[in-house]
Amino acid sequence: MHDQASALRALASRENQKHSKMRVIAVTSGKGGVGKTNFTVNLALALAEYGQRIIILDGDLGLANVDIAFGLTARHTIAHLISGEKSIEQIILSGPRGIGIIPGGSGVQGLADLERDKLTNVLANLGRLEKMADMLIIDTGAGLGHTVMNFLQAADDIILVTTPEPTSLTDAYGLLKTLRKEAGEVPIHVVVNRVRTESDAQATFRRLETAVHKFLDGSVNFMGWVYDDPLVGRSVMQQEPVGISFPESPAYRCVQWIAGKVAGIYLRPPRQAGGVRGFLSKLLRSF
């Protein structure tokens, strides 16, 4: 613990910025397969259109997703960063519109079991992200796993993706319940994916909100919805995000609208102990 604390202090003093400007946004869901990766990738593209510099951290422990969605192949992952074989600059993939992608893979779990002698190096590398981007968007895995929860607790904002399906909503509620206990102060924004109509989206959000008001403290913010759109599926097959293949598609239009709201988050004054440095210190404290 002592080593971690001193490494963090050293990192914090190395770059003497008082407030970090980079925001850390975690995209998550209760149930798997609801569209997190597609949403993350297209949100990054839309934010890049707004002039934001974006880095995506693929925080899914399973198969690499984000690189595939961009039609890229990760050669190195966070695991190489942890082992000291590669620097952050060497593992980041370059996507379209200047988007950087950090492939996580099995290395993400490694972040949780960092050996002390490796910690300083990893911290210094991740700390350099601050100079490279305005926002770090994390595509977490689904569910209530230990690593996912650590990412969520450490983020500045959480975007919770659900679909109107009852099972997806039930799992979203389950995740919210845990988040209220374990990450009480992190704002949660809900995106309803794969809706047929606006009223479908509104009704879905209301169902979730009613449960939250009835059984939990706190509130959730409705960030928007994305239409169920066959062009998304087509883009997945082509390994190209819908924001590139079909920028006029209904689904991408929705993501652009949501990106406008997310860009607004960036304009909000930073919380103290937020940003990438706050993220790292909270991440380490939770392990």
Ligand X SMILES: Nc1ncnc2c1ncn2[C@@H]1O[C@H](COP(=O)(O)OP(=O)(O)OP(=O)(O)O)[C@@H](O)[C@H]1O
If one asks whether residue 145 binds ligand X (CB under 6 A), the answer comes out as no
If one asks whether residue 233 binds ligand X (CB under 6 A), the answer comes out as yes
Tell the smallest beta-carbon distance from residue 139 to Mg ion (Å): 6
Between 225 and 266, name the residue whose CB sits nearer to ligand X.
225
38 binding partner (options Mg ion, ligand X, none; Cβ < 5 to 8 Å by kind): ligand X
Tell the smallest beta-carbon distance from residue 57 to Mg ion (Å): 13
Q: Which amino acid is at 91?
A: I
Give the 3-state DSSP-derived string for 216-270, with helices as H, strands as E and coil as C: CCCCCEEEEEEECCHHHHHHHHHCCCHHHHCCCCHHHHHHHHHHHHHHHHHHCCC
Region from 11-19, 28-36, 122-130, 275-283 binding ligand X, contact rule CB under 6 A: 28-36
Our CA angle for 61, 65, 66, nearest 5°, is 115
Provide the sign of the torsion angle of the four alpha carbons 50, 231, 192, 109, taken in this order. negative
Tell the smallest beta-carbon distance from residue 74 to Mg ion (Å): 14
Q: How far is CA 50 from the centre of its chain?
A: 18
Position with the least CB separation from Mg ion: 37
Tell the smallest beta-carbon distance from residue 62 to ligand X (Å): 7
CA atoms within 13 A on the CB side of 101: 29
Q: Which of residues 60-89 bind Mg ion (CB under 5 A)?
A: 65
Distances (CA, A) of 117 to 43, 177, 204: 36, 36, 48
> Which residues contribute to the site for ligand X (CB under 6 A)?
29, 32-38, 60, 65, 142, 193-194, 226, 228-229, 232-233, 236, 251
> Which residues contribute to the site for Mg ion (CB under 5 A)?
36-37, 65
